[in-house]
Every structure is written in C-alpha cells, then in structure tokens.
Chain A
Amino acid sequence: MRLKTLLAMLPMLLIVLTGKVQAEAYPSTYSPLPSEATLITHATILTGTGERLNDASLLIVDGKISFVGQGDAPEDVKTIDASGRWVTPGLIDVHSHLGVYASPGVKAHSDGNEMTNPATPNVWAEHSVWPQDPGFSRALAGGVTSLQVLPGSGNLIGGRGVTLKNVYSNSYQGMKFPNAPHGMKMACGENPKRVYGERKMLPSTRMGNMAAYRAQWISAQRYVDDWAAYDKKVADGKDDAKAPKRDLKMETLAGVLKGEILVHMHCYRADEMMTIMDMADEFGYKVSAFHHGVEAYKIADTLAENNICGALWADWWGFKMEAYDGIQENIAMVDRPPGSCAIVHSDSSEGIQRLNQEAAKAMTRGNLVGMDIPPERAIGWITSNAAKSLGIDEQTGSLEAGKMADVVIWSGNPFSVYAKAGQVFIDGALVYDRDNPDYQPVSDFELGQLQGVSK
C-alpha cells in the first residue's frame, strides 16, 4: 500500500483504533514565520525530482512554491538574483538526535535512550526534545529545514520519533511538522543485546532480539483485535460494550500495524535486514527505512523490491563488529536498482550540518565505478527520498508548485566542500541568511556566554 494512501486514511484509522474521534495528542502548534512573495532568478535549480534547471526562476507566494522554471517574472515581488548560485529543496535529515542528546552533551541532557526495558514503544522522543539545543542553528546553517528526531538504539523498540521543522520555538510543539506521521524507532543487532545481555536479561543474543520483537507484535495484534471487537459492539449498539484499557506501548505498536506510524529500523548487517523483512511480513507491517545499513549494498535489489529506503552514511564504518563491512559505494549501490530509495542520514550533530558534502562523497564513489550519478539525482538522497521515508513527500522534499517553500540558496554547486547555504527559507520565510546576522538564530543557551571575549 502506498504511503500516500495510508496518510489519507489516517483520520479513519484513528477512529478505528480508539473507537472515537480523538484529538491529536501533543499537537503541532507550528505556524510559518512571516514571509513575503519572493522570486529567485538566474539560479541553477536542482528540483529534487531528478531535474536540473539552468538559469531558472523559483517563485514563492504565501509560503508555497508557486512556480519553478524559465519564464517571465512578475515585477512587483522581492527578487533575489541568484546568478552563479544553486537552489535546492531544504535538506531533510531522517536520523537526528538533536534536542534529545543536546549540546552541551552533559549527563543532564542525555534524554535519548530509555534503557530500562528492551521494548519502550510507549516513550516519545518529542517529550525529550530540548528546543534550545544550539545544534538546531548549526543544522539550519547547513540548509536543513526538516528533521526526524529519534530515540536511541539501546532498545529493541526505542519509542516514537518526531518530525520537526527546523525553527526555534519555546516548545517542540512549535517545531512539530504539521500532520507528519510519527516514526517508530527499532534497533537490530549489537546494541540491544549488549545493553540487556550485560544485565543477564533477554535479549542477550540476536535470536533473543527476534523472540522479544515477536512477543511484542503478538501482543499488539491482540490489542488491535480487542479494540476492533469493542468497536463492533459499539457499532452494533450492544449495551455491554466495554472499552479495553489504553496501553501506551500497544497504542504505538498498533499504530504501526495499522500503517499510521512508520518504522525506522537501525540495522547494520544484510542478513539481519532480511530477517526483519520476514518479520514485517509475518505481522503485516512495513519497514519504512533501514537506518545505518552499513551492509545495505549487499541486498540493494531486495530493498528496492520491497520499497524500503536505506538511510546511510557516506563512509563511517568499523566502530563495531556489525559495521566492519562498510564501503564508500554503499549509498550509490543502494541507489542503483530501479525503484530504489537511497538516503544520506547523519545521526550526528556534525554530520547534519554537511549532508550535501556527505552526498557529494557518495556520488563521487558511485561515479568512480561507472554509475554516472549527476547532482540532480544525488540531491534526492537528502531531500525527496528522505521526505518519502518520513511520509511528508506530499508537502516537502522537492521544488514543485504547491509544495511548502522549504528552499536553500547555495553559494555554488552544493556538491562541493566550499559551497555554503547562503539563504534558507522554511514555508517561504527567510529563517537563515549568512550575510545578515539578523537572520542567524542563537539559542538561549548560547546567549551571553564568553562575555568579554572579542569575537
């Protein structure tokens, strides 16, 4: 089932699940910052849909992209001459811990891994997000307009992830991407079995990992059935209809089984990813993306056939056994089969600032082995494919009329170490301007530090 279809069904699914229409909990209060109609002209535009437009224009009206291409410009709007510069969709990082492992990285800010039970689908990363993390501003200067903040990988089921717009706010609700589905973080392999194995608990092995996931899914299936039986009784007007007790863990897992919540699964080894795909079939859910997937290149065809994205690093490897087979061609090889969905992710407060450079390295390695990947394709790894895996591709991730005007103007070809994001727009509002300190946000934490030091 296509993600689009699933999203369209979302309100209905909520009704089915809970038996009554329930307002979204912890709802988004994000609203776009003030913007004015803006025309960007004479730019090299990478649309995120595989197109490259030379000497082209992009018009932003009412926070939305209104026009992309060549043509006559309206005269009465603010115009930015982007000659020699490049324009891309705002970048999207599908794997961030900003806010939940905020800077400074003191113990008091370690809020990303609820390692008190191997299955914690009841925790929500958003409830840990510190909106004053200075890391958000650094990511913005790197052109990142949306990001998914995930729980860590200490648990088999780490909890819900949240997709944010990269704007400063007093609350995470003020950053929350409107109508984006929740993610659910799961983890394969070494981390959960190490964390709990050291405590002489299940899981201490990979087979223990599987047994523990499956037990959770079996409970979740029962939960879905119990609610369905209750809903039927209500629908049939039976007086003895008694609602099952709400269970936060089961609500999240049921959300996955119903297709409302997208699974983002930390998994390194090819054989483990194959096992997880079988588990998804066993219980009738879908993995949206495998994250890290250092061995994804070994099963690139299977990932594409199953419509599963690979959210990967360009070159990180070797820090643990399951990361030993990393190669620099991983992303390009995952991108190669028809129907593929390769993504460059960061999992890092440094990497999120340079997703374009990471993509450039991966593109270069692919081209060296004859893959012929142009920038207009590679940009999809950090824009449209990322949006697809988060279920927000109808709203953002490409420069097409009607989409959110999440846009970056780069100083040059973004696939260069010397390129910088010059201006960043979110929903049409200028939220970062490298040339104007008035448009460079500073978190509360950094304000007033190092007084007396001349910068």
Chain B
Amino acid sequence: MRTLKSVLIASLAIISLSAQAQTVLIRGATVHTMGKDGILENTDVFISGGKIQKIGQNLPVPQDVHVFEAGGKPLTPGFFAGVTSLGITEVSAVEGSSDATLALKEMRPEFNVVPAYNPHSSLIPVTSIEGFSFTLLGAGAKGSIFGGQGQMVALNGGYESFIGNPVLFINVGQDASGLSGGSRAGQWMLLNQAMSEADNPPASNEAALLTRAGRSTLSAYTNDGKVIFNVDRASDILEVLKFAHNYELSAVVSGGSEAWMVAKQLAVAKVPVLLNPLSNLPGNFDSLGSRLDNAAILNAAGVTVIFSGAGAHNARKLRQMAGNAVSYGLPHEAGIAALTSNPARVFGFTDDQGVIRRNKPANVVLWSGDPLEVTSVAETVIINGELIPMESRQTKLRDRYLPQNPDMPRAYIKP
C-alpha cells in the first residue's frame, strides 16, 4: 500500500526532474503510435530537445537521461481535451472569470477568444496531469449565429502555445433558432446574406449584417477554412454540407446527435464529426436519434470521429467517454485516434501532433493501464518534450486534507 509520504516523495521527485531533465527514455512500453506503425510492443522511446528522437527496442541509455520503466504499460500521444474553454474560464458561474462567450447582439465572426487565454488557469494542470495535452478553444456568442473563432492550444502552461490556424464556430438548429427570428430557415437566410456580404460589401445605404472586420474574417474562411457547425439534426447536417460546398468551407460537424443517419453523406463530403459519445437521450427535437453507437456507425462508414463534450473543468472525463464508445462497438484503436491523431490532423492542420513518430514534437503519456479504462490513470505526461509536474490545485487540496488529526489548522499544511 502506498502511503501519503511515498506519494509526496514521488511527486517531489518529478518536480525536481522537470527543472533539469528534458532528456527522457521510456523503456518497454506498448506504444500506440497512431500512425502506420500501429501498436509497437515492448518498445523504447527516446525524447530529447522537445522531440521524439528514437523509437526502437533496447535503445542505448545515454548519460543524464531520466529512465521510465514502462513494464508493458501503454504509451500514447497526449490526449485531446475536446472543444473547451480551458484557460478562458476559471469558474463558470463567475462572469468576470469567463471569456468564452460574446454577448453583443450582432454578427461578429471576427471575435477570437485567443487573446483571453490565460495559461496560468488552475484548470490547465488539473487537465494536463490526467493525460490531456491539447484542446481547441471554443467560442460562443449570445445573440448571433456566429460563435466567433478559437484555436488549438497545447496545455503546457505557455503563453505562446497555440497550434495551427484559427477555426470559426457557427450555430445552427434548435439552439440557435432564437438568434434568427425564431426559425431555423432564418438561420440559413442570414448565413447566406453574411456570406454574400463577405464577397460583395453592401452599399452604404444598405443594412449590413457584418462589420468590415467581419467581412474580411468570413472571406478568409471561404478558401477552405475550418468551420465548426454546432448541429444535431440529420436534415440540418445535410444543409450544412450544402452550405459548406457552396462557399468552399472545410466543415466540421459538432454535436451530431443524428450524424449516424447521414453517415454516408458525411463520409463522401469528408466532413469530420465532433461528438459526445454518451449522448443517448432525446434532449430536444433535434436529437431524437441520439444513440450510444453513433461513433461506431460513423467510424465504420469512414467518417473521422473526434470526441468532445466533457466541458472545461471535467475535460478529463473524455477518456471515460471514449471507453464507453468502445464498449458500444467502436474499435479500441479508433477510440484512441478520436482523442489523438484525428483532432490533431483536423484542428492542428498538420500531422505533427497526435502521433508518436520520429522527429515529431514529444507529446506522450504513460498510463497505468488501458487509457480508456476508468480504473487507469496517467502516470507520466510529457508535453513538447517536457515532463509535466504531476500536481495541481486539486492534488494540493487533497494532500492538505489527507493527514488525519493534524495539530495545527490545515492552513499550515502547504503541499
């Protein structure tokens, strides 16, 4: 049985390591490369200079390297935390600490949440020590169909940890019908008008939906820009496909409760789906078709599936959610891909992330067991080649309150 003391000593050891050792050798892992090499048994991974330098068996052990003996445990790329407000919200109900939503009553697609990102948010270590190394910052807007723009960010606590290009969020369907005069047909009317303004600025005496900045933002997306449509109903998803085709947008469906009903069309259009694999209730009339094997059906049809929907604070729940998708028919490796290589490729715009491959940035997690299992935990997390200290505000609260009957108030226990 591990004692508190040994836990504390173990975490201290990792803190001191992170200060110096950026050269790491993980030995004897089951490596999920998420690439063409598949799963490599009993394999070593050597990390130095922020990159994966070598992958192989019985790699030499250089001097001054920190060695982790994996003993066959799984090593995966760092996980995707979903579309979240990590770093742009601290306490959801505390308005001044939440910057993910714009409440202007006009169309401002140029709104971008990136300048609000705070890498020192307590949520970032809470999330990263659970094996999550990147997220897509989401943007929402009250009063507009355009949510605004977000971007992928690495959860290593850096100011400049952004990856790839911005993406635009558009809301259609029931949740957004209040934003368009109460009809979802009105949403398409307004969206078409906005797209037309982006191409042809309205005359000075014409009522305009967009600002000059808004037109320029939308215009930039019409050249294959990544646009995430929050949409659930099958018929609405088909409208999204038409719209994206008309304006040459690279669409991603998010939500997608009924995506399985149009899996074939999504596959043909090469449109990925971000989904919550636990959705199985008719939450509203757009999601009557919600089912637990949505991910399995989409994956089998050749649609790229990405998991999202655990929110910011409990983003760590995503791997449990992925495990549930696997228990409802998604192949295990596809479950891991939906949290690693798929989001990296779609939102990172390169194959640099979400894989374990030579010369690529070292974002890896060593797990105590199956990473999709509720009884497993992340044991070692490396983001951009750096060992993440395995502590957060929550582990400190835990370690403050674990000792029983202390002599002094717990305010004097400062783990």
Which A residues are within 8 Å of any B CB, using their own CB?
A: 103-106, 134-135, 138, 190, 297-298, 301, 315-321, 323-329, 333, 349-350, 353-354, 357, 360-361, 363-364, 368-370, 372, 415-420, 445-446, 449-450, 453
Tell whether, in the assembled complex, residue B374 and residue A135 are in contact, meaning their CB atoms are under 8 Å apart: no
B105 is an interface residue with CB less than 8 A from chain A: no
Query: Given A370-B3, A446-B282, A297–B401 Cβ distance below 8 Å?
Result: yes
Tell whether, in the assembled complex, residue B92 and residue A369 are in contact, meaning their CB atoms are under 8 Å apart: no
Distance between Cα atoms of A364 and B317 in the complex (Å): 14
Tell whether, in the assembled complex, residue B91 and residue A324 are in contact, meaning their CB atoms are under 8 Å apart: yes
Which 3 pairs of residues, A with B, have the shortest CB-CB distance? Answer: A417-B323, A318-B313, A320-B93
How many chain B residues touch A (CB < 8 A): the figure is 47
Q: Which residues of A contact B295 (CB under 8 A)?
A: none
The residues in B between 81 and 107 inclusive whose CB is less than 8 angstroms from any CB of A are 90-94
Distance between Cα atoms of A149 and B278 in the complex (Å): 22
Tell whether, in the assembled complex, residue B92 and residue A349 are in contact, meaning their CB atoms are under 8 Å apart: no
Distance between Cα atoms of A329 and B92 in the complex (Å): 22
Distance between Cα atoms of A327 and B129 in the complex (Å): 13
Distance between Cα atoms of A201 and B354 in the complex (Å): 53
The residues in B between 162 and 181 inclusive whose CB is less than 8 angstroms from any CB of A are none
Binding-face segment, B30-38, B39-47, B70-78, B284-292: B284-292
Tell whether, in the assembled complex, residue A370 and residue B1 are in contact, meaning their CB atoms are under 8 Å apart: yes
Q: Which residues of A contact B94 (CB under 8 A)?
A: 320-321
- Main secondary structure, interface of B, reads loop
Partner of A418, one of B278, B288, B323, B397: B323
Tell whether, in the assembled complex, residue B93 and residue A319 are in contact, meaning their CB atoms are under 8 Å apart: yes
Distance between Cα atoms of A402 and B210 in the complex (Å): 71
Please encode chain B, from 300 to 334, with 1 for each CB lying within 8 Å of some chain A CB and 0 for all others.
Answer: 00000000000011101100100110110000000
The residues in B between 8 and 26 inclusive whose CB is less than 8 angstroms from any CB of A are none
A80 CB, min distance to chain B CBs, angstroms:
22
A316 CB, min distance to chain B CBs, angstroms:
6
Distance between Cα atoms of A321 and B278 in the complex (Å): 27
Closest residue to B332 on the A side, CB-wise?
A: A418
A186 CB, min distance to chain B CBs, angstroms:
20
B402 is an interface residue with CB less than 8 A from chain A: yes
Tell whether, in the assembled complex, residue B397 and residue A325 are in contact, meaning their CB atoms are under 8 Å apart: yes
Q: Which residues of A contact B374 (CB under 8 A)?
A: 357, 360-361, 364, 415-417
Known A-B contacts: A104-B283, A357-B320, A416-B375. Give 11 more (CB < 8 A).
A103-B283, A105-B284, A106-B284, A318-B314, A354-B324, A368-B377, A372-B1, A415-B374, A418-B373, A419-B327, A446-B288
Q: Which residues of A contact B90 (CB under 8 A)?
A: 318
Partner of B397, one of A105, A190, A327, A445: A327
Closest residue to A445 on the B side, CB-wise?
A: B282
B116 is an interface residue with CB less than 8 A from chain A: no
Query: Given A297-B401, A368-B2, A417–B284 Cβ distance below 8 Å?
Result: no
B220 is an interface residue with CB less than 8 A from chain A: no
Query: Given A106-B284, A415-B374, A417-B323, A315–B314 Cβ distance below 8 Å?
Result: yes
Tell whether, in the assembled complex, residue A190 and residue B93 are in contact, meaning their CB atoms are under 8 Å apart: yes
Tell whether, in the assembled complex, residue A317 and residue B313 are in contact, meaning their CB atoms are under 8 Å apart: yes
Distance between Cα atoms of A297 and B403 in the complex (Å): 11
Which B residues are within 8 Å of any A CB, using their own CB?
A: 1-4, 7, 90-94, 123, 234, 261, 278, 280-285, 287-289, 312-314, 316-317, 320, 323-324, 326-327, 372-377, 394-395, 397-398, 401-402, 404, 410
Closest residue to B326 on the A side, CB-wise?
A: A418
Tell whether, in the assembled complex, residue A333 and residue B283 are in contact, meaning their CB atoms are under 8 Å apart: no
Task: Count how many pairs of residues, one from A and one from B, have CB atoms less than 8 Å apart in the complex.
Answer: 130
Query: Given A105-B283, A319-B313, A333–B401 Cβ distance below 8 Å?
Result: yes
Query: Given A350-B278, A417-B372, A361–B320 Cβ distance below 8 Å?
Result: yes
Q: Which residues of A contact B283 (CB under 8 A)?
A: 103-105
Q: Which residues of A contact B93 (CB under 8 A)?
A: 190, 319-321
Q: Which residues of B contact A328 (CB under 8 A)?
A: 394, 398
9 interchain pairs (CB within 8 A)? A315-B317, A316-B313, A353-B278, A368-B2, A370-B4, A417-B323, A417-B324, A420-B327, A453-B234
Closest residue to B89 on the A side, CB-wise?
A: A318
Q: Which residues of A contact B316 (CB under 8 A)?
A: 315
Partner of A104, one of B92, B284, B377, B410: B284
Distance between Cα atoms of A281 and B284 in the complex (Å): 45
Q: Which residues of B contact A370 (CB under 8 A)?
A: 1-4, 7
Distance between Cα atoms of A135 and B280 in the complex (Å): 9
Tell whether, in the assembled complex, residue A449 and residue B288 are in contact, meaning their CB atoms are under 8 Å apart: yes
Closest residue to A326 on the B side, CB-wise?
A: B394
Closest residue to B6 on the A side, CB-wise?
A: A370
For A419, A446, A450, the residue with the greatest tally of chain B CB atoms inside 10 Å of its CB is: A450
Query: Given A320-B93, A320-B94, A450-B289, A327–B398 Cβ distance below 8 Å?
Result: yes
Partner of A298, one of B1, B327, B401: B401
Tell whether, in the assembled complex, residue A417 and residue B288 are in contact, meaning their CB atoms are under 8 Å apart: no
Distance between Cα atoms of A315 and B317 in the complex (Å): 8
Q: Which residues of A contact B289 (CB under 8 A)?
A: 450, 453
For A104, A333, A372, the residue with the greatest tally of chain B CB atoms inside 10 Å of its CB is: A104
Q: Which residues of A contact B123 (CB under 8 A)?
A: 318
Q: Which residues of A contact B377 (CB under 8 A)?
A: 364, 368
Q: Which residues of A contact B287 (CB under 8 A)?
A: 104
Distance between Cα atoms of A319 and B312 in the complex (Å): 9
Distance between Cα atoms of A364 and B373 in the complex (Å): 11
Tell whether, in the assembled complex, residue B280 and residue A417 are in contact, meaning their CB atoms are under 8 Å apart: no
Closest residue to B394 on the A side, CB-wise?
A: A327
B59 CB, min distance to chain A CBs, angstroms:
30
Q: Which residues of B contact A103 (CB under 8 A)?
A: 281-283
Q: Which residues of A contact B288 (CB under 8 A)?
A: 104, 446, 449-450
Tell whether, in the assembled complex, residue A369 and residue B314 are in contact, meaning their CB atoms are under 8 Å apart: no
A153 CB, min distance to chain B CBs, angstroms:
13
Distance between Cα atoms of A417 and B328 in the complex (Å): 11
Tell whether, in the assembled complex, residue A418 and residue B401 are in contact, meaning their CB atoms are under 8 Å apart: no
Closest residue to A313 on the B side, CB-wise?
A: B314
A136 CB, min distance to chain B CBs, angstroms:
11
For B1, B372, B402, the residue with the greatest tally of chain A CB atoms inside 10 Å of its CB is: B402
Q: Which residues of B contact A104 (CB under 8 A)?
A: 282-285, 287-288
A195 CB, min distance to chain B CBs, angstroms:
13
Q: Which residues of A contact B410 (CB under 8 A)?
A: 298
Q: Which residues of A contact B314 (CB under 8 A)?
A: 315-318
Tell whether, in the assembled complex, residue A453 and residue B261 are in contact, meaning their CB atoms are under 8 Å apart: yes
Distance between Cα atoms of A450 and B92 in the complex (Å): 36
For A349, A418, A449, the residue with the greatest tally of chain B CB atoms inside 10 Å of its CB is: A418
Tell whether, in the assembled complex, residue B91 and residue A329 are in contact, meaning their CB atoms are under 8 Å apart: no
